[in-house]
Structure 1
């Protein structure tokens, strides 16, 4: 019987591909969920690796593990890679970074070291994915991995979900992964924005992921508060959703008076630069659409009342944007990327301005135009609670 070429090729591949030339078993690895980077007193890297602990038994048996949950392994070294290779001496397995959820960097490390150098290993090695978030922490980064998660299986996953939901629903922080960080750091202004992790008072307080850490030339330069983060996100077109609180005008203060709430559905912002002789004018045009969330100041029944409410929201957002920009100008931090826009628009002009850009940005004039559209007043089912 004469065999066809297809049959001979089938037999060949069955023999050649039936075995694994580079075989690894699951029990040889420890899967890293999170990394915390701190610094020792003598300047070395202190690495805390947060591992997922499987519920089943280890090698040689299938008996259930009595203590479930993640474990932390702390190592030190002159470099990140040095500290990582020492993990095996404690864990008995090779650390694997394919499923890492987050990296935490302490303020101390971010202030005294170049973050690009700190993250060199994770951007060069083939295992870590470029989509994991990077956060700056108040105090020691490792202390946040010692906490127990509220609902997720590990603190690594808990922190990642906190970053995602805070950015999406409250507009109080930014989402930054390794890939986005590389793009920001290599931009003309060289400024990157990170989520900020902190506790309100002490280690007994719940963990918050809110606020934005600003890194300039590789080092931590400033922290934007959660209250001011929304306007910064609006100007960078990263605002996904949140609430704008509007004080009652007849009360005169937000501390003592009651407040209305406006739920934001969509924000579109355009930053327009205008060069006048040797000076710069920045125009911020923001369009906001949303619905009335809660009313304590005045009813919205007529078109005039709706217009008055939208004007109040517009006034509040305008004031907050101005406040944030003035803060950035005082710190000489172009965190909204005006310099990058000038470079794209006129490279020759940017070449002349780049060397003293910090001063030019601080002196630039600002114009703000905010347009607010109320899409829903919440009165489609009538007045819910009579007064």
Structure 2
């Protein structure tokens, strides 16, 4: 009995959250934008702002401009003031639920800490949703030095979405979505649509996955995001040879790569109909692939067998001749879809090979199936890879023609 009382007394003294802090006493960071330090600065403009958004740095050079999107914990969520005194997210029209502050420097950790000079509360990173990096920043330093701070800090979550933009990154986190939700949440949720849109290269491309791939010296792809006027869109992907940025691939190439890697749960494949102007849309429901390497003397090639099952999702016939429930018509559509899938896969493969980036993971397959061959050629793989052939075989089965026949 005495022991129980002692345990209860101890529990009463140590219970509770010793580091508890009320929500209104934190500044929640929802998204981060990373640009080069001189981003947005033109001769004769922005000099006063640049001096404010910086600090005395004893070593090195000013390399990055880091911008934080901070959630406004306030009733009504009216428009906020960014560090430059302008309403954050003005691109989207109307006030949003966030505001943006920026700072420049070399160490991202030091830059973030110095931002406390612009904040009335501590900065809290456990709810960060997205990190957007400008092309200029990754061209200068590569992606690994930039994300190192986020991988090491205990507050960061490894499911944070990563994006690369060809322009400046800060305007994307200033954007106010039409839904008026916090911009970081909006940006992260776009990536989650990848399961139904094969044009979005966001499968297994978050902070944790990218960090692991870089540690294993793998080539990587990061979704490309752009903003034009009031429209923000994720389209295509930025490719990296290990850590170094090498270029972009478009939406069709992304779809081809994803068909090989089976990273989508659905997708739409369009083909022409029997007559000019006709359009048929095949809805992919499920597919299996098998990528196999082959070694024949000094020759290396791969075979890819794809089996797809899906539905006839749309049939626009200008002068309707064929019926969607005609078995002959269905077989013709299956063949057309199979040919289109083959073209798309080869387009994606050729796009990656032209940039020297192994996004189909040929090297991993070759090492797994033929370890002795891999040991002989691994030092010359960068020269061999761009010319490795891929033989594609596709079988498509249409299960349903939809409600309207």
Q: Say whether residues 1:303 and 2:330 are aligned partners.
A: no
Distance 2:307 2:153 in 1: 42
Aligned to 2:389: 365
Question: SS at the partner of 2:316?
Answer: coil
> Paired residue for 1:4?
2
Deviations 1:227-259 (A, max 9, x none): 3211111111212222101023543xxxxx342
C-alpha separation in 2, matches of 1:374 and 1:340? 33
Q: How does 1:176-255 map to 2 (within 5 A)?
A: 176-187=205-216, 190-199=218-227, 203-248=228-273, 250-251=275-276
Length-normalised TM-score, structure 2: 0.84
Deviates more, 1:259-268 or 1:242-251: 242-251
Where do 1:27-176 residues align within 5 Å? 27-41=24-38, 44-56=63-75, 67=79, 69-151=97-179, 153-165=181-193, 167-175=194-202, 176=205
Contact 1:187 1:340 in 2 (8 A): no
Trace 1:325-364 onto structure 2 (pairs within 5 A).
325-364=349-388
Does the CA-based 8 Å contact 1:159-1:209 persist in structure 2?
no
Residues 1:205 and 1:17: Cα distance change in structure 2 (over 3 Å): closer
Greater relative CO, 1 or 2 (CA 8 Å, sep 6+): 2
1:292 corresponds to 2:292: no
User: How far does residue 328 in structure 1 lie from its aligned partner after superposition?
Assistant: 2.1
Q: Structure 1 unaligned segments of length 5 or more: list them.
A: 57-63, 252-256
Equivalent residue of 2:176, what SS? Answer: coil
Structure 2 gaps of 5+ residues are: 39-60, 80-95
| Residues 281, 105 of structure 1: alpha-carbon distance in 2 compared, 3 angstrom cutoff | same
Q: Could you tell me which residue of structure 2 aligns to residue 312 of structure 1?
A: 336
* Alpha-carbon distance between aligned partners in 1 of 2:27 and 2:386, rounded to the nearest angstrom: 49
Q: Distance in 2 between matches of 1:160 and 1:73?
A: 20
**1:288-339 residue CA offsets vs partner (Å, 9 max, x unmatched):** 1111111124432221111111001001111121222122222222111110
Give the whole-Å Cα distance in 1 for the aligned partners of 2:274 and 2:344: 16
Give the length in aligned residue pairs: 361
Rounded Cα–Cα distance in structure 2 between residues aligned with 1:185 and 1:18: 41
Q: Please state whether the residue corresponding to 1:119 is helix, strand or coil.
A: helix
Q: What is the Cα-based RMSD across aligned positions, in Å?
A: 2.0
